[in-house]
Amino acid sequence: EIKDTGYIVRSYDLGPDPRTAKYLFNDHTAAIGRFRKFGSYRGISLPNVSSLVGSADGKNPSFFILTERIKGDNLEDVPLSTDEISYAKRAFNDLISGLVDYSRDVFESRGEYLSDQNLSQYVYDKSSQKVFFVDLGMECHRLPPTRGQHHENSHFFAQYMQGIYIMLEELEGKIG
């Protein structure tokens, strides 16, 4: 992390083997693409994100992800005054609507989805009254092309959709 820049910098060592480096580069680039697609849904704002390749140790290539630091509180811990609740309620309802739309689209397209969903992955910025998804981790799952393949379908419904439901309950508990 570089202090006082307004950005969080994450570096990932791509290793000395060019084939492995290319694979990891493509994997990280795809993760950023999933992140940006996720942010196209209503109520899901994203910080500015940039990436570059360089060297963190002067030997091996590294993939760097620069993410704008969002000022606000994690949704798990966000304190809201009585006056702030009506604005937050609108932002939280938009977030849940966006998550439902995203989930429906993932299920219908049978594609990859960001599987690490919980309130700690989101920050509420009171000044903009927006909810930002701030986890740029690479954790994702893919639904198989046919609906009969049980394992990934089970994860989608038993864990992912259950996580969305828990988030909804927790947000409702915060704003009534």
pLDDT in tens, 14-66: 999 999 999 989 988 888 888 899 999 999 999 999 889 999 888 889 999 89
Q: What is the pLDDT of residues 154-166, one digit of tens each?
A: 778 888 889 899 9
pLDDT for the residue 95? 94
Three-class SS string for the chain?
CCCCCCEEEEEEECCCCHHHHHHHHHHHHHHHHHHHHHCCCCCCECCCEEEEEECCCCCCCEEEEEEECCCCEECCCCCCCHHHHHHHHHHHHHHHHHHHHHHHHHHHHCCEEECCCCHHHEEEECCCCEEEECCCCCCEEECCCCCCCHHHHHHHHHHHHHHHHHHHHHHHHHHC
